[in-house]
Amino acid sequence: MERWSVFVSEHPWRIIFLWIITIVLAAMAARTWGGSLTDTFSVPGTESQAAFDLLVDRYPARSGSEMLAVFHTPEGTIQDPDAQSAMSVFAREAQGVEEVAFISLPGERPGNISPDQRTAIVRVAFDKQANNLDTENIGSVVELGETFRSDRLQVEFVGEPVREYETEPPGTAELVGLLAALLILIIGFGSIIAAGMPIVSALVGLALGTVGIFLTAAYLDITTVAPTFGAMLGIGVGIDYALFVIARFREQLAAGVDPREAARGAVTTAGRAVAFAGSIVVVALVGLFAIGIPVIANLGMAAALVVLLEMLVAVSLLPAMLVLIGRRIDRFSIPRLRYTAGGEHGRWYRFSRMIERRPILYLLIASGILIALTIPAFDLEMGVSDDGNRPTDYTSRRAYDLISEAFGPGVNGVLFALVDNPSQQLSTAELERTRRALSQVDGVAAVLPPDSSPNGGTALITVIPTTAPQEEATRQLVTRLRETAVPAALNGAAANTRIYIAGSTAAFEDVTAKLISRMPYFFLIVIGVSVLLLMMAFRSILVPLKAALMNMLAIGASIGFIVAIFQWGWGLSLIGLDRTGPIESFLPMFMFAILFGLSMDYEVFLLSRIREHWLETGDSGESVAFGIGASARVITAAAAILIAVFGSFAFFGDERAVKEFGMGMSFAIFIDATLVRLVLVPAFMQIAGPANWYMPRWLDNMLPNLTIDPPIPVRTRVRRLLGVALHMVLARPQKSALR
């Protein structure tokens, strides 16, 4: 990092030119080779995935995604000539749209006309999975149906292709987050130019990260929410990383250092911490590959790519711009908001000293609050939110409501029993026995007649639950079908007969089961690697273990917080939702990876200042107070920015999963930057004293040495030690009286 800092400070225009070339080439590559995002996913080794693979093989005509066009008449019946004509014309014209395989009118299949005769479903089957469809073709079908809307006929659409079509590009939430971050930066830095530079840095990293996501999507299945998650992370961590570098740069300028040397010093100090902290975040996100579910692993990889690029921008492009701007960074200062570097005797220093006088009391109070906030997490239900959670201005939400009212909520998430015998045809008696066994299970509203494959060796039986897809009762129904109905149906069946229970709810149950089974491995990888890196950097056993434990408490509190809101419904309407439901099955793991990494960010920035002073003075209590006094202002500003960015997605995002993520992340950052970093850390480190920095000699020799800050010259260290000793001798009576 030392040599890199010299190169950046000596050749700023080269760095800027290289980044411009990179941006241009990345944009050109995205236009040529960029892929499309998807909501489909695979769960290797599960029953639902085996059923899907078999369905594609036995029913090739049904291997594509299906869209439901819901026709509803508020007056009369769906059998009226106008409604019948509209459905017929729609089916005929939609059949001509590219990628549409076939269309099924309501009368061609049972269960597509409601009992009150006022609602009907036209099924539009595409020849590809939703992620491979051209959104223009999906839009053509939707727009065609919209032409038949009138006061007497409502037409809405739902299904996987519709979700692909309704995916919103970045917009309001990102803009609100950026404006809030800019306001916080202006207040914190007191200068328009200084406040604007972290925004520029974050946007460059985010733009490149988004391009990288679409390039990756050409080869891997990347979920449609990946750009939104990337925007949240990119804006948040990008501004944070830039904030720490700029703060060190301005500290150097305030000390009278030349701008070129100030940029070099910022890279070798804050830049090292940014690189180290960013690496932990990347490791935590890449650790999602241990889950064994490709779509979750790919989402983690996409987020890790954004974080990596934000980190690279912060240690290269940003310091290059700082060299060129120099002391003009303080231009356009705002009266009464002029920035002053943090000092060891400011209010945060005094706050730390206050905690250190009664460390056990503050440790117990802060820990008690975190444990109380974690209690709701024990009621966590992981599942999938259905289209009933989407905003009412989405056609998929309106179609969902129409189907629920006319057919029952279970029709929005039907289950399938796939009966297969590769060696012989299925008999009518065997299929009837299976249908009867399925219909007798509690929670089944109806079982439709079997639909046999052309060779007669496979049959598809539709099972309609009595409850909505996201309900706990529906998830329990999947278990009952597999544990009771399937064995009963197979009793006396021909050899080699297999029955698979599938459907969206069954698939997410399999996802949840796989997540839970892989959770210990994931925790072990993320926590183990993070603790190991911290041990290598700070040459301590206790400090990394303390950091891991406190991070776990903060994460548990954030999970409890989102459970209270999204499952229990506390304040749900305030963020624009009107239904409770389960927490998205992938979210706790994804939040854990990101929160653990981001928490380590603050830990690294704080501990690097504490350790720097510890090496100079050997005074544990003074070092903790100095570290907090020197870094608390920057950490609280950085946390406020992250809270604002994540909070903007919680309040202004459309997707329920995005709201859950934004709310959980903003609360966790708030807890981490207040209770953990400013209360628990000084209390614990005061109790531990010099033991904070203990490491056995054999372990010290075994671990590689990672340096966060550059070594302090011996002459400087001796001079500072003498100064500190003299200060302690002269100030001893006052300190004794104070204590």
Give the CATH number of the domain where residue 693 resides. Answer: 1.20.1640
Top mean-pLDDT range of 53-57, 112-116, 272-276: 112-116
> What percent of the chain stands above pLDDT 90?
29
Q: Give yes or no: residues 539 and 489 share one domain.
A: no
Q: Is residue 22, in this structure, part of any structural domain at all? A: yes
What is the residue range of 677's domain?
Answer: 533-733
Q: Is residue 680, in this structure, part of any structural domain at all? A: yes
Find out whether 70 and 405 touch, Cβ atoms under 8 Å: no
Find out whether 668 and 370 touch, Cβ atoms under 8 Å: no
Q: Is residue 119, in this structure, part of any structural domain at all? A: yes
Residue type for position 235: I
Give the CATH number of the domain where residue 321 resides. Answer: 1.20.1640.10
Find out whether 567 and 581 touch, Cβ atoms under 8 Å: yes
Mean pLDDT of the chain: 84
Q: What's the confidence (pLDDT) of residue 132?
A: 77
Q: Is residue 18, in this structure, part of any structural domain at all? A: yes
**Total number of domains constituting the chain:** 4
Q: What's the confidence (pLDDT) of residue 637?
A: 81
Residue 21 CB partners (closer than 8 Å, separation 6+): none
Picking from 141, 166, 191, the residue at the C-terminal end of a domain is 166
Find out whether 173 and 274 touch, Cβ atoms under 8 Å: no
Find out whether 624 and 348 touch, Cβ atoms under 8 Å: no
Q: What's the confidence (pLDDT) of residue 337?
A: 53
Q: Give yes or no: residues 649 and 567 share one domain.
A: yes
Q: Give yes or no: residues 546 and 691 share one domain.
A: yes
Q: Give yes or no: residues 693 and 611 share one domain.
A: yes
In this structure, the number of other CB atoms found within 10 A of the CB of residue 76 comes to 14
Q: Is residue 80, in this structure, part of any structural domain at all? A: yes
Q: Give yes or no: residues 162 and 196 share one domain.
A: no
Q: Where are the alpha helices (DSSP H) in 539-619?
A: 542-562, 587-617
Q: Give yes or no: residues 100 and 182 share one domain.
A: no
Give the CATH number of the domain where residue 79 resides. Answer: 3.30.70.1430
Picking from 145, 166, 187, the residue at the C-terminal end of a domain is 166
Q: Which residues pair with 156 in a beta bridge?
A: 70
Q: What's the confidence (pLDDT) of residue 738?
A: 34
Mean pLDDT confidence for 360-387: 91
Q: Give yes or no: residues 133 and 247 share one domain.
A: no
Q: Is residue 85, in this structure, part of any structural domain at all? A: yes
pLDDT of 312 strictly over 70: yes
Cα 244 from Cα 705, distance rounded (Å): 23
Cα 126 from Cα 405, distance rounded (Å): 26
Bigger pLDDT: 720 vs 651: 651
Q: Is residue 517, in this structure, part of any structural domain at all? A: no
The helix or strand, by DSSP H or E, that contains position 308, with its residue range, turns out to be helix 294-315
Bigger pLDDT: 29 vs 336: 29
Q: Give yes or no: residues 569 and 676 share one domain.
A: yes
pTM score, whole prediction: 0.78
Tokens matching residue 116: 């009150």
Cα 668 from Cα 654, distance rounded (Å): 21
Mean pLDDT lowest for which of 403-417, 447-461, 492-506, 707-721?
707-721
Picking from 166, 192, 213, the residue at the C-terminal end of a domain is 166
Q: Is residue 8, in this structure, part of any structural domain at all? A: yes
Q: Give yes or no: residues 70 and 10 share one domain.
A: no
Q: Give yes or no: residues 585 and 699 share one domain.
A: yes
- What sign does the CA torsion over 70, 73, 78, 81 have? negative
Q: Give yes or no: residues 251 and 154 share one domain.
A: no
Q: What's the confidence (pLDDT) of residue 577?
A: 85
Closest CA to 463 of 435, 499, 491: 435
For residue range 610-647, list pLDDT tens digits in order. Answer: 887 777 777 777 888 888 887 787 788 888 888 888 88
Q: Give yes or no: residues 158 and 189 share one domain.
A: no
